[in-house]
Amino acid sequence: MLFEHPASAVAADLHSHSSVSDGVLSPRELVARAAEHAVELFALTDHDELSGLDEAATTARELDLRFVHGVEISVTWAATTVHVVGLGIDPDDRRLRHALAGVRSGRTARARQMGDGLEAAGIADAYEGALRYVRNPELISRTHFARFLVETGICHDVRDVFKRYLVAGKPGYVPHEWAHLDEAVEWISAAGGVAVLAHPGRYRVGDLKLHELVKEFREAGGVALEVVTSNHTREQVRQFAALAIAMELEASRGSDFHGPDEAENVELGVVAPLPSGLTPVWHRFV
């Protein structure tokens, strides 16, 4: 019988997005929805942005839902974009705030170039179209373009847009330099948080490269691997559970919810339990 950490029983969802980044719901609506879906411990982890946390924390307090201040930092590692979630950060940490402003700063110029690329492929005014979905002027993302392309009928869903237009080699893709892995982990740690390597199953790298990524992440001070997230298959959950144990990392779980109609089968709180034998990273927050 494998050891079960007592915190494992807590219904934790530690990865989600509000309209402050590329989610659809406001921080208040998001937290209310998490409570409705029986989440017991919840983190808002907007991309490169902390400005939704106050509203989310206030709502969580009103609804008696335990809340963890989070963020998801965009990182470029070995020419690949990877995401590092920070949990339990101090939202007023000056250095983290300043660093994230730097990470956000290239997004508008990148989005204009994406618009140019799409224009050349025959799709007019995509930048302006994407902007209509943006609630935070500092945070225009590929997701906003995807929503616009679905609206125009060019693609039937967001996933289709990414495949045809927004990934490397496609007309709307613009390569971008995000933060360095070690600095992102350091900003999170210095702000009192723990760094979690998000959705390892989403990176288009082989096993060897992934192993190297996880090793560097750990050496930089990273604490946990996101073993369970909505787009991991059961096989991937097993694989990353084994990797977390082998690399002596704790394990996290989160839906990566972006909105009610964004993707089939993704709902707040609806995530598989952690496999046995792992240390849930949320033992630190309960």
Residue ranges in contact with ligand AMP by CB under 6 A: 22, 47, 74, 141-143, 158-159, 162, 258
CA-based nearest residue to 280, from 196, 188, 215, 191: 196
Q: How far is the CB of 8 from ligand AMP (least distance, A)?
A: 27
Residue (157 or 182) nearer to ligand AMP, CB: 157
- 83 touches Mn ion (CB under 5 A): yes
Site string for Mn ion, 39-78 (x = CB under 5 A): ---------------------------------x------
Q: How far is the CB of 230 from ligand AMP (least distance, A)?
A: 11
Q: How far is the CB of 100 from ligand AMP (least distance, A)?
A: 13
Query: What separation in angstroms does the CA of 219 have from each of 133, 195, 213, 215, 248?
Result: 38, 12, 10, 6, 11
SS3 67: strand
CA-based nearest residue to 254, from 276, 277, 237, 242: 237
Q: How far is the CB of 279 from ligand AMP (least distance, A)?
A: 26
Looking from the CA of 217 toward its CB, the CA atoms found within 13 Å total 33
- Across-strand partners of 251? 225, 280
Residue (69 or 258) nearer to ligand AMP, CB: 258
Query: 136-165: b or e for each residue (b if 16 or more CB lie within 10 Å)?
Result: bebbbbbbbbbbbbbeeebbeebeebbeeb
Residue (202 or 283) nearer to ligand AMP, CB: 202
Residue (229 or 279) nearer to ligand AMP, CB: 229
Query: Using CB under 5 A, which of 46, 256, 269, 280 touches Mn ion?
Result: 256
Q: Which two tokens stand for residue 192?
A: 């009192």
Cβ atoms of 161 and 146 within 8 Å: the answer is yes
Q: How far is the CB of 266 from ligand AMP (least distance, A)?
A: 10
Give the count of beta carbons closer than 10 Å to the beta carbon of residue 219. Answer: 11
Give the residue closest to ligand AMP by C-beta. 141
Q: Binding partner of residue 162 among ligand AMP, Mn ion, none, CB under 5 to 8 Å per kind?
A: ligand AMP
Q: How far is the CB of 114 from ligand AMP (least distance, A)?
A: 9
Cβ atoms of 43 and 27 within 8 Å: the answer is no
Q: Binding partner of residue 144 among Mn ion, ligand AMP, none, CB under 5 to 8 Å per kind?
A: none
Site string for Mn ion, 177-216 (x = CB under 5 A): ---------------------x------------------
Cβ atoms of 191 and 94 within 8 Å: the answer is no
Report the phi/psi class of residue 269: left, alpha or beta, with left for phi > 0 and alpha for psi in -120 to 50.
left
Residue (136 or 141) nearer to ligand AMP, CB: 141
Q: How far is the CB of 28 from ligand AMP (least distance, A)?
A: 21
Cβ atoms of 197 and 214 within 8 Å: the answer is yes
Residues lying near Mn ion in the complex (CB under 5 A) are found at 22, 72, 83, 198, 256
